[in-house]
């Protein structure tokens, strides 16, 4: 029964583009063909479909393709691509994958292994990071623009510095910071930095709730709020002008300056 409902829902969502193509054919040589975006936030590939927890946030411009699983309270931000075609991508609970990051699986490499990408709970993955066939354990941190290649393991409370390139099959131990190209051990994390990793994940989880509410608003409500903001902004400007006017005292009514004592 669930498959039947899914098939009907898929057919309904495709109807708009199908009608557009039909209309173009009927117009013949006189049609103006406007390209309609084929973007889908969740897209099947082969027989694999994404599974997203109902309390997770996936930005409308993100793409989750194929065998991808996102857990409760996690957030996949704007422009991200999670592609699970040759293998699966797993994202745990409370994890944030920030804008323009790419998560993929290793389809082939010199060892002949096919690696999934597994990201644990309360992980922070910074903007524009690339994760390929690797494992990032709970409460680890991947900095902005970092690249993790096939077989990499970042242990719990491990940190990859921004811009680092972590080579194949590298293991980053618990409580260590690695950075550079290629990435090498830099130093141990402090207790404050370890606490910050969990705090960062919690902050993004809360922020995602606000984005989810905003993205769920219908266009009519968004337009109405714009009108209200414009109206109240104009009202506030008039009110401020009136207040500033009442504070101005004509020169002839201004009290005389006190005469300095002789």
pLDDT digit string, tens, across residues 115-135 = 899 999 999 999 999 999 999
Can you tell me the distance from the alpha carbon of 125 to that of 102, in angstroms, rounded to the nearest whole number? Answer: 10
Q: Is the pLDDT higher at 132 or at 28?
A: 132
Spans of all domains in the chain: 42-193
Calculate the alpha carbon distances from 27 to 22, 88, 102, 116, 209 in Å: 9, 44, 41, 48, 45
Q: What is the pTM of this model?
A: 0.73
Is the pLDDT score of 252 beyond 60?
no
pLDDT, position 217: 82
Reported confidence tier of residue 71, pLDDT bands at 50, 70, 90? very high
Bridge partner residues of 251 (DSSP)? none
Can you tell me the distance from the alpha carbon of 223 to that of 190, in angstroms, rounded to the nearest whole number? Answer: 48
Q: Quick one: CA torsion of 60, 7, 86, 180, rounded to 10 degrees?
A: 10
Can you tell me the distance from the alpha carbon of 159 to that of 2, in angstroms, rounded to the nearest whole number? Answer: 42
Reported confidence tier of residue 109, pLDDT bands at 50, 70, 90? low
Tell me the three state secondary structure of residue 24.
helix
Q: Which fold has domain 42-193?
A: UDP N-Acetylglucosamine Acyltransferase; domain 1 (2.160.10)
Reported confidence tier of residue 254, pLDDT bands at 50, 70, 90? very low
Q: What is the pLDDT of residues 142-195, one digit of tens each?
A: 999 999 999 999 999 999 999 999 999 999 999 999 999 999 999 999 999 999
Can you tell me the distance from the alpha carbon of 99 to that of 80, in angstroms, rounded to the nearest whole number? Answer: 6
Mean pLDDT of the chain: 84
């Amino acid at each position: 029964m669930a498959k039947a409902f899914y098939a009907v829902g898929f057919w309904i969502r495709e109807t708009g583009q199908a009608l557009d193509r039909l209309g173009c054919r009927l117009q013949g040589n006189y049609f103006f063909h406007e390209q309609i975006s084929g973007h889908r936030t969740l897209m099947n590939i082969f027989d694999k479909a994404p599974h997203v927890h109902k309390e997770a946030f996936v930005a409308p411009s993100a793409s989750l393709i194929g065998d991808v699983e996102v857990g409760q309270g996690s957030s996949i931000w704007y422009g991200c691509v999670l592609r699970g075609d040759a293998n699966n991508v797993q994202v745990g609970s409370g994890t944030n994958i920030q804008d323009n990051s790419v998560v993929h699986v290793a389809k082939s490499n010199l060892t002949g292994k096919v690696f999934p990408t597994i990201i644990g709970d309360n992980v922070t993955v910074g903007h524009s990071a690339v994760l390929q066939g690797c494992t990032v354990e709970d409460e680890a941190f991947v900095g902005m623009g970092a690249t993790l290649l096939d077989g990499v393991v970042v242990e719990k409370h491990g940190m990859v510095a921004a811009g680092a390139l972590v080579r194949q099959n590298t293991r980053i131990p618990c409580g260590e910071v690695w950075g550079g190209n290629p990435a090498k051990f830099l130093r141990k994390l402090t207790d404050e930095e370890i606490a910050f990793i969990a705090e960062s994940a919690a902050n993004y989880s809360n922020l995602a709730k606000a984005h989810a509410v905003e993205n769920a608003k219908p266009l009519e409500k968004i337009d109405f709020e714009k009108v209200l903001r414009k109206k109240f902004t104009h009202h506030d400007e008039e009110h401020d002008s009136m207040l500033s006017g009442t504070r101005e005292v004509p020169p002839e009514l201004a009290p005389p300056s006190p005469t300095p004592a002789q």
